[in-house]
Copies of this chain bind each other. A is one copy, B any other.
Amino acid sequence: MKKIAVMTSGGDAPGMNAGIRAVTRTALQKGLEVVGIYRGYQGMIEGDFIPLDRFRVSNIIQRGGTFLKTARSEEFRTVEGRAKAAAHLKKEGIEALVVIGGDGSFRGAAALHAEHGIQVVGCPGTIDNDLYGTDYTIGYDTAVNTAVQAIDQIRDTADSHNRLFFVEVMGRDAGFIALRTGLASGAESVLVPETTTYIDELITKLEEGRKLKKASAIIIVAEGDDEGGALDIAKKVNEKFDAWETKVTVLGHIQRGGSPTAFDRILASRMGNSAVEALLKGSTNVMIGQRNNEMVEVPFTQASKHHETLNPHLLELVEILS
């Protein structure tokens, strides 16, 4: 192998730049050439490439987002689109690819391998932490810390008043961010898609808190909760519970950005390094995962999205500690 490419795909996540840096510098150290592909599969189809040397990836480990950018590509979902993409890779002499992204990105990589023989390895880059085969995904720790810091600021003011705060965090299908955010911020409740939300139970809990003379309550809502987002749930609660003034915060894309935490930088650095090593020993169609603090290779077929597997003990812990 002489030349590999690296790209980021899907929703961006803090730590992706650290992953690109690790792929690049490991590859260079192994005597490989490295090419960066801009804007994911769409850039691959358009041949939007940039040669990466050690300087091009200097001073990016601390940056949020991804300097290679990401994009959606409908065209890559077609056989023709992938053929165009593969032609660009072959013209450039690129034999193997590291994709930093989610399970949809891995499926694209698998198709590229099946149809065009490109060797492909993935790194899990998504703030949602909802992939089988890895304990953590790149960006998750940062997203949780961002949400927690926001809630800390709300807590400063919550103490001063009789107030009920609903804070919406990311998670269309999964409550991982909501759960860890709730646990770390000492929230009163965490509402997630994986479990049924009962508005009446929530109100009962709030009433009990009020009788215990709690000054305020903070409820974390995953955007994809079965009873709706924070605005919806606040409205439903207010219809029956209006003892406290209600305030809503929707964190939105704040959670996707920000300088990655040390955890995410190290995770991405290790994964990027292992991805190149995996390519060199001939692996393909695998995602690099971290399990029990070790780097492992997980077949793409197993690295799919998973839901409904929130640690029930942690959900319970939110209630015990609130």
Residues of A in contact with B (beta carbons under 8 Å apart): 12, 14, 21-22, 25-26, 29, 54-55, 59, 61-66, 69-71, 135, 141, 144-146, 148-150, 152-161, 163, 165, 180-181, 183-186, 212-213, 231, 247-259, 261-263, 265-266, 269-270, 273, 292-293, 314, 317, 320-322
A22 to chain B, nearest CB (A): 6
Bound-state CA distance A250–B161 (Å) is 20
| A181, closest chain B residue (CB) | B262
Given known pairs A152-B257, A154-B253, A156-B256, the reply for A269 and B64 (CB within 8 Å) is no
What would 26 A/B residue contacts be, using CB atoms closer than 8 Å?
A21-B186, A21-B321, A22-B321, A25-B320, A55-B213, A61-B185, A65-B157, A66-B160, A69-B159, A69-B161, A141-B262, A149-B259, A150-B254, A153-B257, A153-B258, A155-B257, A156-B256, A158-B253, A165-B252, A183-B265, A184-B262, A247-B252, A249-B250, A249-B251, A249-B253, A273-B321
The answer to whether B70 and A161 have CB atoms under 8 Å apart is yes
A181 to B186, CA, bound (A): 28
Known: A70-B161, A273-B317. A266 touches B153 (CB 8 A): no
B247 touches A253 (CB 8 A): yes
Which B residues are CB-close (under 8 A) to A149?
259
| CB neighbours of A54 from chain B (8 A) | 212
In the bound complex, residues from chain B placing their C-beta under 8 Å from that of A248 are 250, 252
A156 lies within 8 A of B257 (CB): yes
The reply to whether B184 and A265 contact each other, CB–CB distance below 8 Å, is yes
Residues of B within 8 A of A252 (CB): 154, 165, 247-250
Assess the A317–B184 pair: CB atoms within 8 A: no
Partner of A186, one of B61, B146, B158: B61
Interchain CA distance A26-B316 in the complex, whole Å: 11
A-B contact sample (20 more), CB < 8 A, given A12-B161, A156-B256, A249-B250: A12-B160, A14-B156, A26-B320, A29-B320, A70-B160, A135-B293, A152-B258, A153-B253, A154-B252, A155-B257, A157-B253, A157-B257, A158-B253, A180-B266, A248-B250, A250-B250, A250-B252, A263-B263, A270-B314, A273-B317
Contact across chains for B253 and A152 when beta carbons are under 8 A apart: no
Find chain B residues with CB under 8 A from A322 CB.
25
Q: In whole angstroms, what is the CA distance A66 to B215 when docked?
A: 14
A249 CB contacts on chain B under 8 angstroms: 250-254
**Chain B residues with CB under 8 A of A29:** 320
Cα A157 to Cα B321 with chains together (Å):
25
Q: Which residues of B contact A270 (CB under 8 A)?
A: 314, 317
Q: In the complex, A170→B200 CA distance in Å?
A: 31
A154 to chain B, nearest CB (A): 5
Closest B residue to A140 by CB, please name it: B262
Give every chain B residue within 8 A of A180 (Cβ-Cβ): 262, 266
Q: How far is the CB of A322 from chain B (nearest CB, A)?
A: 8
| A152 vs B261: C-alpha distance when bound (angstroms) | 11
